[in-house]
Amino acid sequence: MFSQTKISFLVLISLVSVVSLAGCDAKKAVKEDTAQLSVDEPETPGDAADDKGVETTEPEVEADAAPAKEAADAATNDTAAPAAGDGFEVAVAKGGALVFKAPSSWKKVKPRSFVVEYEISVPKSEGEADDAADGRLTIMGAGGNVQANIDRWYGQYTQPDGSKTADNSTVTESEVAGCDVTWVDIEGTLMDRPGGPMAGGAVVERENYRTLASIIQAGDHGQYFIKLYGPVKTINDNEAAFRSFVQSLVIAKD
């Protein structure tokens, strides 16, 4: 009787031990599963920063990313830096249909105004004053009567002797790549509005300035204005380059 009771007691203890061990293992398994979930789904630092509007640091793969960026720039007509002496192409209008060739000494820059489609900085000539500005070339598509636009450009200049700017300017016409082109040459004191004509603000008088402009009737691609202006010496030294630039026009086939 005593032996049978003892055996039953020992069996009961064994069963309790087994159940306890099983419970521990289950808790351990749950804990490990929870830990694994935290490892597999961490918070992405970049996403968290973006949500807070914080600038993130790009991965250190600049060398590999550069060719891809250059290819993307070329696809959107953002011409890459030209090889020395070769010049570079400038493509404007829808689909880059109007293509010009610029000299390598000129440099593409970000347009100062949203209405300008393409902008180039023309380095000032040697001998210009230290505070003299570089020449500025802009390309934009716009409508309006040709003469009305020329008259507006006249109104941006005054003459030292008080004469009419129109009487001291030249306007000629020619044909480039099958397009009618009007050439305008204005010199005098530029009544510059740095903020643009619609922004108001003070007028800055820039003496001894010159503007070279061409108005291109590009058929289905519309009317395009190309203007180069700046200190007289800089524009004088780049006059031939400006004319070559306009005359380099090639209209891409559809």
Check pLDDT > 80 for residue 10.
Answer: no
* Residue 174 tokens, joined: 């020619």
Segment holding 4, helix H or strand E: helix 2-40
The domain 82-251 belongs to what CATH superfamily?
Answer: Mog1/PsbP, alpha/beta/alpha sandwich (3.40.1000.10)
Q: Give the separation between CA 234 and CA 133, rounded to whole angstroms.
A: 9
Q: Compute CA 38 distance to the chain's CA centroid, rounded to the nearest angstrom.
A: 42
DSSP E strands, 11-86: none
Q: Give the separation between CA 129 and CA 238, rounded to whole angstroms.
A: 17
pLDDT digits (tens, 9 = 90+) for 158-171: 999 999 999 999 99
Q: Give the separation between CA 248 and CA 14, rounded to whole angstroms.
A: 98
Instruction: Kindly report whether the global pTM for this prediction surpasses the value 0.85.
Output: no
CA quadruple 138, 139, 141, 142: dihedral, nearest 10: 30
* Domain range annotation of the chain: 2-51, 82-251
pLDDT digits (tens, 9 = 90+) for 163-222: 999 999 999 999 999 999 999 999 999 999 876 666 567 889 999 999 999 999 999 999
